[in-house]
Structures are given as structure tokens and as C-alpha cells.
A and B are shown apart, each in its own frame.
Chain A
Amino acid sequence: MNPANRPEMTQRFEAIYNEAVARKKALNESSQPMIYIGMATCGLAAGALETRQSFEQTLLEEDLAAIIRPVGCIGHCYAEPVVIIDHPSSGFPPLFYQQVTPGKAKMLVKSFLAGGDPLFEHVLGAMKANDMVPQVTDFPRFSQEERIVMGKCGLIDPEDIYDYIAEGGYLSLIKALTLSQDEIIKEIKNSGLRGRGGAGFLTGRKWGLAKDAQGLKKFVICNADEGDPGAYMDRTILESNPHQVLEGMAICAYAVGATEAIAYVRSEYPIAVKRVVTAISQAEELGLFGEGAQGFFDIKFSVFKGSGAFVCGEETALIQSLEGNRGMPRHRPPYPVQKGLNGHPTVINNVKTLASVPAIINKGAQWYRDIGARQSPGTAIFSVVGSVVHPGLVEIPMGVTLETLIFDICGGIPNKKGFKAVQIGGPSGGCLPADFLATPIDFDSLSGAGAMMGSGGMVVMDEDTCMVNVARYFVDFTQKESCGKCTFCRIGTRHLLDILDRITKGEGREGDLEQLESLALAIKAGSLCGLGKTAPNPILTSLRYFRDEYEAHIMEKRCPAGMCRKLTAYYIDLDRCARGCDACVGSCPVEAIFTTKNRKKGIDQSLCVKCGECMAACPQQYDAVRKVSPPDKAPVIERPVEE
């Protein structure tokens, strides 16, 4: 490990930094308006590409000049596609627009860029303080957030290294290279940073162990094998600001004495893979890092594409897959920091952990410690989805309660429905009912309540969600993803699934719940890795907090939430159904709806697949489609015999 000689290095970086600032200044001083479009996966899914084309085309038609900058994701999924327009000569501050469809884009060019009218009805807020437009930070969805990891996401161009450097990027790496390895590790230790992959191990301690480990060669791996079906923050960070993660990896590599850094990214995230590859080549081109004497210090970066196995999020399984084997975890100790990839000491950290590092080095351990909770300093990122008004990625200081997060920040439950439960931590986590809304979000409080921080996936469920069905869903997932090494995990989860399958089909038996419990505990005890140890959590927590729902399924063959399809039926209330209305007929995918003799409608239960389309199609003023559980409560309406 030879950081190039320090004064020379600082000088070299200063030149790069000056270049970055000059580029940014030139951009800011150009009189052209800037249009920032959020182009991460979620933005693209919402139609950001069409929006961009519409901007480009209308600009051409109107013969106007503007700079369109593709940026990453700001985390406000409900508002996608997000566009920020900075039009200084109009006198307005940069404005944040939500749900910018191609049509809206056209309007914005014509009214705002050409006419100077910013169309206030589509503005969410201003990005800077001013006395005309309320700021976005006045809204709780913005004001209660504290962004350390995602601070630059959605504001800079992820494919332009100068954009990151102009915002102070890579300064922490330069600072770190002037410190000794021990000084960095001490700083990280003092900051109290805990691994954001879910388990919450102290990062500084992991680094210390790796530094002290003996080996010819050492590795740093960034774990971006985000497999939890419902969490996507790692992807967003890599797509929106890959350099921050690379900087964290480089600092870690220097601190522990590693010469190779590998970003392990899911192949399901093609845009993230592409942006990380681009970022690495840009940083190498500038000479920030590279092999031998090319870089500021000797480090080789590479990207490995994970092939879609949930278990590979587990560090020993991840190493197996890097070595070209089936991703099956092995026994620990020895831990990867002692004997990891190809037998060499290996530090494996999550994306969020590594992305937190540059800020800690820059601002100091004490600054980080003052954010968040005492035992869990810093921020947590959650992908809050499901039944909430403002879903998306939220970065909050640790210690904020679940209630604040779900109701104040994310706007609560839509459609006037009641809150039922929140599922935290994906397939390894648990479901917490309303009684736990006051629980502060940190590693220890959540595990105390039976859930876990896990990946940061958070699914909010309203009264229409069946907890038995959700438990079945997660067991179905872990059952498929079990690597098959441990008998309890491989066969035990299969049996859990069979029992839950029966229960949700109305074939539950007495004694099923006891069997679920004992089997769940046995799987926890008899599994080697985190997957098996936590797989029964969704069942155990839902059994603990929603036992009555299980009992209703077994005893009464009834699904209280009306979600289990075998236990529900739709029927048409003939008193409300309008004579001659055909709204539901076309909506039915299986032609189960027929016309009765008096020209009203009925549902043929033998054909119905219970998709609920007729309920959505029935005009509001009639509201004639009803859902009941158990299904035999639906009145029988005979299909008239065709003549």
C-alpha cells in the first residue's frame, strides 16, 4: 500500500477539483434553463424516457435552447417522473414538478420556458428558499428526512464524475489517504457506524479485524445483492450516485490494506451495473485509483454480476458464488475477514454502509454520533411501499418512530382505510400491528419487537390485507430460495408452506397452529445461515399478533380481510344493480357475468376467478358488487336457461 507522495497527490487532486468546479460554474452561468429529469429504473418505469423525448421535441419545435440533464432518483416514487427546472432568467427558483407526463412536459416548455409562467398547479415546491413559492422542505416528506447517504441522489448526474467532485466528492478519500490506517479505523469505530445489511455489526470492528488479519492479498466487497422483494435502496444509490459508494470502498480498501475491490451487483439491475462500470472507468481515467503507480494508491476495481439467488446476500454464500460455485453458505468461523475470497481476508459491507463512510471521514465521528439513536447512530433508509399515500425511499435518522415514518412522512393510508400492520425487513422480518407504532426505528428496538432492520424493506398493509396470506407469501419465497444445505430449512420450510397453503384454502385443521410454531422454532435452531434462522419470522410474528385471523381461517373457513381467494366470493346485489347497465360484463376476463331475467347481472360462481375487476368496474353510484367470506354467504343467483 503506497499512497503516492502526499503533497503531489493533493496537488493532483486540486487540479481535478478545480476543473470540476469550473465545469459546474460554466454550466450555472450559461443563461440556458436546466431541466433535470429523474432517470433511474423507477423513473424510467413511470415514463421518464417519453417525458425526456417530449421535452427535446418541444424544445426543437419552439426553437428554444435548454440543457437536459439526466439525474438519478430522488426517492419520491409517488411523484415519478420527477423533473426539476432551473430557469434563472425567469426570476423563479429551481422548481420541483411531479408526475411530468409527456403532455405536461410539452406544456412546461411552452408556458414556462417560452412564456415565463411556471404553471404553479403542477409545482410541488421550490428547491431553494425564496419569497414566491413554498419550498419542498416545508413538506414533511422532505423536512423530516436527514440525507447522508442519499444526499446527492437525484441532484447530480450519476454518469459524470466531475458533477460528484464539484459537490465535494472524493475529498474524503484524499483526506483519508493522509491519515494512517489505524486513524481511519479508529474514526469509523468511534462513529459507531453499524452494518446496514441488516445484522448491524460494528463496521469499525470488522475493518480492524481485517486489517490485523494475515494474508498475501486482501479484498473489499460491496454487497449489492439486494434480493428482498420490496427493497430497492441499494439499486437507487448505485444508479443515482455510484461514486459515493466507490469512494467508501476505496477508503475501506486503504484502511484494511486491500488491493482489490469488487462490487457485487445483482444482474437484475442492469442500469446499476452499467453506471458502476462507467463510474469505475471514469475514476481510473482521472487517476483516482488504478493498479500500480497509476492511481493515488494501488487498487483494482471490478464488478461481479450476481445471478439471482437470495441466499447470496449472506456473505459466505456470496463468496462461494464469486468463486464460481453454488451459493451455499458455509460455517463461520473462520469469518470472511480472516479467510474469505480464495482464502484471503475479505471485508464485505453493504452499499449503505460504504456510502456512509465518506461523510464520516469528512465531518468526523462525533458529528455522525450526534445523528440518530445512541446505540444506532446515523440514518436508516427505508423503501416504504404498499398502502401509503407517498411511497418511496425515505432516509431518516435512527430513532424516529414507525408512526412518524408511516403517517407523518409518508402520508398514512390512502382510500380512508385503516392501518393493519407494517412488515419490516422482508422475508426475514416480521409484521408489527398498530400497538407497535410507537416503536423507535433502530436495530435493537426492532429486533426486540420481533421484526428486524433487515434490508430496509417496509410494506404497509391496510385492513384489506390478510396476514396469513402474507406469511404464506414470505414462506413461499424463502422456501424457493433455500439453498438446500440444512435439512430444517430445506424440508421444514416446505412443510410450513404446505400447512399455510391448506389454511389459506380453507382446509386448515385443529393443531395446525401448534405445529407451525414448533416447526418454526426448530427451523430457527437447526439452520446454519441467516436465511433459515430468520425464515420463520413472518409466521412467528403474525401468529403472535394476529392469531385470531389464523383461527378464523381454520375454524370458520373465513378470511377476515377477504384476500384469500378460495375463501371469498363476489356477488351482485340485485337491489343496487342497475337494469340494463353492462359495465361489469366487459371487465370480466372469464365471462362469468350473465344477465338475469329482469336485465340485471349475476356472477356464475363456478367460473369466477375472483379477480375483483367487476367491483372496480361497477359505477360508483350503483356500487352493487359485494365481496363476502366465507363464500357460501353469497346468495345464489341462477343463470337463466338459454332458450
Chain B
Amino acid sequence: MNYSASEEEAGLPDKIALERDVAARLKGFDNHRRNLIPILQDIQDHFLYLAPEAILMVAEHIGIGASEVYGVATFYNQFRFHPPGRHPIKVCLGTACHVRGGDIILENFERKLGISDGETTTDREFSIERVACVGCCALAPVAVVDENIQGHMAPSKVEGIVLGYKIERDRIDRERENEPGEPA
């Protein structure tokens, strides 16, 4: 990882760094077709999404068309083609969560953040994703925020979570402003 701090800050690695990193990762796999999905998983694990440049490089590595790689990647729910927010929110819509009003929770997140399922807020703070069962049905309805599983969700809890992050962010911003000697 050799992103400069400002790039990491924006969450968008520059193209050259990305290409260098993907190339290094591809060296770990031979060009057999059965490695396609593990390669894509590896890239997404690291970059959190599949950038178009990465897809082109994978296609070249395996020796198939980019459309073929894209076709496989879009088939599976795991792969994303846009960078997620810093705080990804996953709302569980498994059977037990549905019966207990999971869709109301999803709707509340969408309303509160002003984006729909599958989108990222313009400041790249939050993204919302619907998932089918995270496997804690006894805690339904469930949402996963930043890898923390929140059980027994309610609309008021949605407000609390979003507000909590906003307060935290404001605090960090304030601290940064007050720090002496740091250029803005």
C-alpha cells in the first residue's frame, strides 16, 4: 500500500497505484479460468469494489474478454462496481427480519440518508445495501453498520445510529481545526 495520505482520505486510490497493486495480486494466481472468482474476490477484499481498470487487467491475465469477466462478476451478489461509503450499512431482509419489519428499517435508513439501496451518499460517508440473511435471526430485525451487528432495530434506533456518526464526525472535524500547525 503506497497511497499518499490525501488519496486514502478521499478513499479513491489513484489509477497507477491501483494498477500496480492489481498486477502484484495477479501474480499470485495462474491464468486458469477457475481462478477467476478467487481473483475478483481478492481484488474486492482489498479495494472494496471492482474498478473498470481492474476488470480489464483480470481479463487480460486470464485471456478472456472483459465482457466475460464483467458477465461473471455481475452474476454474483458479492461484487460491487462502485466504491462503498466509509460506513457501509447492510440491512438484513432475511425471512425472519422481513416478518419483523426489516423493510421499514431499510426505508428509514434510505429516508434519513437520502439515498436508495445500492447507493452511496455524495460525501461518501454512508452506503446502503440490502442483504439476504446475516444469520442472526433471533435478533431480527437486524442491520450491520461498519461490521457491527445491530439487533432489534427500530426506526428510532436508525436515527440514533446516523446521528451518532454525524456527532463523531463533527468532533473529529473540530479537533482537526483546533490542531495547531496542521495545514487545512
Contact = CB atoms under 8 A, between A and B. Distances in A.
A564 to B, nearest CB: 11
B94 A229 contact: yes
B37 A230 contact: no
Interface size class of B (residues with CB under 8 A): 35 or more
B37 A308 contact: no
Contact of B133 (A232, A387, A461, A586): A232
Interface string A586-608: 11011000000000000000000
Interface in B47-82: 62, 71-72, 75-79
A267 B78 contact: yes
B95 A423 contact: yes
A325 B93 CA distance: 27
Contacts, number: 142
A561 B33 CA distance: 51
Interface stretch (A159-167, A401-409, A611-619): A611-619
A307 B77 contact: yes
Contact of A612 (B32, B62, B101, B151): B101
B115 interface: no
A29 B132 CA distance: 46
B36 A589 contact: no
A473 B158 contact: no
A457 interface: yes
A73 B133 CA distance: 18
Nearest to B104: A611
Interface hub of B34, B38, B95, B132 (most chain A Cβ within 10 A):
B95
Nearest to A462: B99
Interface stretch (B18-26, B117-125, B136-144): B136-144
Nearest to A78: B138
Interface hub of B35, B132, B158 (most chain A Cβ within 10 A):
B132
A322 B34 contact: yes
Interface stretch (A37-45, A245-253, A516-524): A37-45
Contact of B136 (A41, A227, A228, A611): A41
B114 interface: no
B95 A613 contact: no
A110 to B, nearest CB: 27
Contacts of B159: 589
A63 B143 CA distance: 38
Interface hub of B34, B75, B78 (most chain A Cβ within 10 A):
B75
A287 interface: no
B139 A46 contact: yes
Closest 5 CB pairs of A and B: A77-B138, A230-B95, A307-B76, A229-B94, A308-B77
17 contacts: A45-B139, A45-B142, A45-B149, A46-B151, A77-B136, A227-B132, A229-B93, A229-B133, A230-B96, A269-B135, A307-B77, A308-B76, A324-B34, A327-B76, A385-B95, A386-B137, A612-B104
Given A46-B136, A77-B137, 18 more contacts: A229-B98, A231-B133, A268-B78, A305-B41, A307-B78, A309-B77, A324-B34, A324-B62, A326-B71, A385-B140, A386-B99, A391-B138, A465-B99, A587-B155, A589-B112, A589-B158, A612-B104, A613-B154
